[in-house]
Chain A
Amino acid sequence: MLSAMDSNQKRFVEDALDLLNELDEGLLQLEANPQASAPLEQVFRTMHTIKGGANMFGFENIGELAHQLETLYDLVRQGNMQVSDGLISITLHAFDKVRDLLQEKDASKIANAESLKDHLKIAVQFLKSVETESVSSASNGSNSAITKDELATFFIRVSPTISMTPDGNHPLVFIIQDLEALGTAKTLCYKREDATVIHWDIFLSTTTAQPEIESYFLFVENECKVEYNKLLACDLFGADEFKQFIDQFETTPVSTEALQAIVKKLAATVENKTAHEEEAESSATGKKKFNDTYIKVSKRKIDDLLNWISELIILQAQLVNATSHINSVEITEVTEQLEMITSRLRDTSLEIGLVPIETLVTKFKRLVRDLSKTLNKKVNFLSEGAETEMDKDVIELMAEPMIHIIRNCIDHGIESPADRKTLGKSEHGTVKLKAFNSSSYVNIIISDDGKGINRESVLKKAIERGLVAADAVLTEEETLNLIFHPGLSTASAVSDVSGRGVGMDVVKQKINDLRGYVSIKSMPGKGTSIHIKLPLSRSIIEGLLVKVEETRYVVPLNVIDRIDRIAYDTLIRDNHVNKTVVVNEETLPVFSLRKKFHNETAAPKTTDIISVTVNGIKKGIAVDRIEGKMQTVMKPLGDVYQHQDFIAGSTILGDGSLALVLDPARLFQLSEN
């Protein structure tokens, strides 16, 4: 039986997928720094959230698995277990399964999936083995506590300078409640006889830093005096002695001397104490994270906004036109202001749809980890510019091709540790991802310090397969570009990881589809670097505006090699659409837009041939006339036209008329059928 998800379940799945990415990130950090508490806490908290959500929305199997794993990490937190490779691996694999499962559209299929059982068993087994181990080692009792570097206990005394009651409506009362929510807190309130407050004494154990705590009092600075006293960099509420100490001040003000004395005493014993912290910390860090808020907005709303803004831009242009003959300084001022504001609105709104490529980086870290383990290679992954923003769709579409490139880097590029040593390189290879913006493009460079691409063998293989003539003289660049040719893979043995022959050509194709560019550089023995350049947004297009009959088309600039003008008669001799003609002393299969779509009227004397390279093959598009180069915003044609997929979209020209944006790859597919 198919049971569709309700909206809560859908939201859970969406959130959980985000959480799983965070979890991956945390686990990888934890693996790199097994002693650090921040990633450990993050991992624990994330699992906890997944568990809670899963149980609430009817995915008990996921909840159970998360619970089992959470138990393991709780042991780590309590210092009863060390972070190990094994632990990280079983966790990663278990949640990979969860991630796969969540792709399922059918709620009951997720809830009843058997596939998590194995991972549950592994986790239970792992727990058992740890428990037996810890029993044997329990006697020594020296399990060192994890130092929580961020956690601290504060003593804060708030003395109102105006008269107020603790149950009054003054903002200060709420501020104190907010403070209490930052962690574990105990607030003591001392009143005068008329019930007005002398001061509040707050003991607060939290991960929130002091400046942030201070910021809570920002707007009531004139109405109170606040003293901060950081007692100790740990949670003092964990110590019973401390709690008892506080309790005795229920009615009398806290004596600072006594306080300092007990803190000193506790500081000595703090090593042994970790219990009672978890709730305080999870709620405290949860809050902290909340301060750095993102809102999820549906793509449709953003698209709507963009549409309204483009309408506004057109209206604004009309207004300028309509008022141009009116000689009024006031009106000119208003229209100029309006123009400025609309253009700013457009820029800002385009940015809303962009997200940082960070999500991809986490995926890649994971990939590098898993792959280097499988291939027994030592690889460091560095990233730079992960905050660079890109269109969300583009990021999703680029994930696959980039994964492929990184795979190639590790599989073919980076040598084995032994080889590297003999070559005088560090045993650890490096794969580096660098992202940055340039004008309306996002640049991504993926490089490795491996052995580089062997040009001779690429060329040899290309000749063997008849891709280039045996006596051809190719430039370095041309030779390297051969690896983007369909069906040419340089791995001499087909491996599990890469080298299936469907590789770089698909990468190139995907980048082409996004109207981007890709180039490759390689130094033998030094490494390879692949430079991908993508338009910032899928909706911005750089192209050549052409005219056929009365219809205007835009050909994306990124695929264009050259332009030639020939006599139309050259095409006319054959009545076929996709016919080879001689252009620039080379034969070129040419697709004539006029012959295919606009064959009704008399043709002009000449035709312009635009040579493009699609899927590694040179072809020509014949048009009546080229009108110029342009950069413009592309709009989709809508669902109704999804079968006319050789038209990628349309764009509004300066005079308000529309031009159709061609998708050259699909255009040629049309001619083949």
Chain B
Amino acid sequence: MKTDSNAYLTFALGDEKFAIPVDHVQEVVEFGQVTKVPNAPLYMLGIINLRGRVLPLLDTKLKLGLSSTDRTKKSRIMVLDIHTEDDKNIQIGATVDVAREVVEISANEIQEAPEFESLKTAAPITGIVNRQGDITLIMDITRVFSVTEVLELNRSLN
């Protein structure tokens, strides 16, 4: 999906601040009842009822290999629209600790992502923005929430 928009949604996972292109975000909703689907990897939290739509819910931190945090009043679900490699559009919910704001980030502000010590996995980060020490990591959502990867993990589990 080609996008000209420079608008990003920023959110927090633990102490890190992340951003994703706002085009991929349908909406941000509060936590409701989650129905667990048995026999699935831990980071697949279950399914939620989003106004009559059944949406799978992923724990973003567990998916990134971080430890999960307890749900707080500030916890939110980002409803994401992801275009997959095999030309499908899938919708999933992804948890964040705090959903912040939509900001404009121009392309020349984005620096190449360095190696990250704090994120143990090879962090799926496409770039980093430094605004007077306020660091925002731009997340590669197709990689983080890639269905193929989810399926592979899933397969190894079963």
In the bound assembly, the distance between CA atoms of A307 and B52 in angstroms comes to 8
Closest A residue to B86 using CB positions: A639
Which of B13-21, B111-119, B147-155 forms part of the interface with chain A? Answer: B147-155
Interface residues of B in 23-78 (CB under 8 A from A): 33, 35-40, 44, 47-49, 51-56, 58
Closest B residue to A318 using CB positions: B51
Interface presence of A214 (CB below 8 A):
no
Interface residues of A in 383-406 (CB under 8 A from B): none
Which of A112-120, A327-335, A373-381, A642-650 forms part of the interface with chain B? Answer: A642-650
Interface presence of A641 (CB below 8 A):
yes
- B-contact 0/1 string along A546-570, CB 8 Å cutoff: 0000011000000000000000000
Q: Given that A310-B53, A637-B56 are known contacts, is A660 also in contact with B150, CB under 8 Å in the complex?
A: no
Interface presence of B2 (CB below 8 A):
no
Contact of B52 with A596 in the complex, beta carbons under 8 Å: no
Q: Given that A637-B56, A638-B54, A650-B47 are known contacts, is A644 also in contact with B90, CB under 8 Å in the complex?
A: no
Interface residues of A in 626-645 (CB under 8 A from B): 635-644
Determine which residue in A593, A596, A649, A658 has the highest number of CB atoms from chain B within 10 A of its CB, and name it: A658
- B-contact 0/1 string along A334-367, CB 8 Å cutoff: 0000000000000000000000000000000000
In the bound assembly, the distance between CA atoms of A643 and B152 in angstroms comes to 10
Interface presence of B158 (CB below 8 A):
yes
Interface presence of B138 (CB below 8 A):
no
Contact of A310 among B38, B52, B151 (CB under 8 A): B52
Q: Given that A644-B37, A658-B47 are known contacts, is A639 also in contact with B52, CB under 8 Å in the complex?
A: no
Contact of A641 among B33, B40, B53, B155 (CB under 8 A): B40
Interface size on A, residues (CB 8 A): 33
Interface presence of B88 (CB below 8 A):
yes
Q: Which residues of A are found within 8 Å of B33, using beta-carbon distances?
A: 656-658
Interface presence of B79 (CB below 8 A):
no
- B-contact 0/1 string along A574-613, CB 8 Å cutoff: 0000000000000000000100111000000000000000
Contact of A551 with B35 in the complex, beta carbons under 8 Å: yes
- A-contact 0/1 string along B68-98, CB 8 Å cutoff: 0000000000000000000010111000000
In the bound assembly, the distance between CA atoms of A174 and B51 in angstroms comes to 50
In the bound assembly, the distance between CA atoms of A660 and B154 in angstroms comes to 19
Interface presence of A313 (CB below 8 A):
yes
Interface presence of A315 (CB below 8 A):
yes
Contact of B54 with A652 in the complex, beta carbons under 8 Å: yes
Interface presence of A314 (CB below 8 A):
yes
Q: Given that A638-B90, A658-B54 are known contacts, is A644 also in contact with B49, CB under 8 Å in the complex?
A: no
Contact of A315 with B51 in the complex, beta carbons under 8 Å: yes
Q: Which residues of B are found within 8 Å of A221, using beta-carbon distances?
A: none
Interface presence of A241 (CB below 8 A):
no
Closest B residue to A548 using CB positions: B38
Contact of A640 among B48, B49, B150, B158 (CB under 8 A): B150
Q: Which residues of A are found within 8 Å of B49, using beta-carbon distances?
A: 652, 656-658
Interface presence of A311 (CB below 8 A):
yes
Contact of A642 with B52 in the complex, beta carbons under 8 Å: no
Closest A residue to B152 using CB positions: A643
Q: Which residues of B are found within 8 Å of A657, using beta-carbon distances?
A: 33, 35, 49
Q: Which residues of B are found within 8 Å of A650, using beta-carbon distances?
A: 35, 47, 54
Interface size on B, residues (CB 8 A): 29
- Decide if the interface of chain B is mainly helix, strand, loop or mixed: mixed
In the bound assembly, the distance between CA atoms of A643 and B55 in angstroms comes to 16
Q: Given that A640-B44, A640-B90, A642-B151 are known contacts, is A314 also in contact with B52, CB under 8 Å in the complex?
A: yes
Contact of B39 with A639 in the complex, beta carbons under 8 Å: no
Closest A residue to B57 using CB positions: A640
In the bound assembly, the distance between CA atoms of A174 and B38 in angstroms comes to 65
Interface presence of A502 (CB below 8 A):
no
Contact of A641 with B38 in the complex, beta carbons under 8 Å: no
Q: Nearest-CB distance from B32 to chain A (Å)?
A: 8
Closest B residue to A312 using CB positions: B52
Interface presence of A56 (CB below 8 A):
no
Q: Which residues of B are found within 8 Å of A656, using beta-carbon distances?
A: 33, 49
Interface presence of A572 (CB below 8 A):
no
Q: Which residues of B are found within 8 Å of A598, using beta-carbon distances?
A: 38
Contact of A636 with B147 in the complex, beta carbons under 8 Å: no
Contact of B37 among A313, A315, A660 (CB under 8 A): A660
In the bound assembly, the distance between CA atoms of A597 and B37 in angstroms comes to 9
Q: Which residues of A are found within 8 Å of B38, using beta-carbon distances?
A: 551, 593, 596-598, 644, 647
Interface residues of B in 110-158 (CB under 8 A from A): 147, 150-151, 154-155, 157-158
Q: Nearest-CB distance from A342 to chain B (Å)?
A: 11
Q: Nearest-CB distance from A628 to chain B (Å)?
A: 18
Contact of A636 with B90 in the complex, beta carbons under 8 Å: no
Contact of B39 with A644 in the complex, beta carbons under 8 Å: yes
In the bound assembly, the distance between CA atoms of A597 and B39 in angstroms comes to 7
Q: Which residues of A are found within 8 Å of B39, using beta-carbon distances?
A: 597, 644, 646, 670
In the bound assembly, the distance between CA atoms of A310 and B51 in angstroms comes to 8
Contact of A660 with B35 in the complex, beta carbons under 8 Å: yes
Q: Which residues of A are found within 8 Å of B90, using beta-carbon distances?
A: 638-640
Q: Given that A660-B37, A670-B39 are known contacts, is A640 also in contact with B52, CB under 8 Å in the complex?
A: no
In the bound assembly, the distance between CA atoms of A650 and B51 in angstroms comes to 14
Closest B residue to A313 using CB positions: B52
Q: Nearest-CB distance from B149 to chain A (Å)?
A: 11
Q: Nearest-CB distance from A258 to chain B (Å)?
A: 67
Closest A residue to B155 using CB positions: A643
In the bound assembly, the distance between CA atoms of A647 and B37 in angstroms comes to 8
Determine which residue in B35, B91, B147, B150 has the highest number of CB atoms from chain A within 10 A of its CB, and name it: B35
Contact of A637 with B88 in the complex, beta carbons under 8 Å: no
Contact of A641 with B52 in the complex, beta carbons under 8 Å: no
Q: Which residues of B are found within 8 Å of A647, using beta-carbon distances?
A: 37-38
List 8 other contacts, CB 8 Å, given A638-B55, A660-B35: A310-B52, A551-B35, A638-B56, A638-B92, A640-B92, A640-B147, A643-B151, A658-B48
Interface pairs (17), CB distance under 8 Å? A310-B52, A551-B36, A551-B38, A637-B37, A637-B47, A640-B44, A640-B90, A641-B47, A642-B154, A646-B39, A647-B38, A649-B54, A650-B35, A650-B54, A656-B33, A657-B49, A659-B35
Q: Which 8 A-B pairs have the closest CB atoms?
A: A597-B38, A310-B52, A314-B52, A658-B35, A643-B154, A640-B56, A635-B54, A311-B52
Residues of A within 8 A of B (CB): 307, 310-311, 313-315, 551-552, 593, 596-598, 635-644, 646-647, 649-650, 652, 656-660, 670
Residues of B within 8 A of A (CB): 33, 35-40, 44, 47-49, 51-56, 58, 88, 90-92, 147, 150-151, 154-155, 157-158
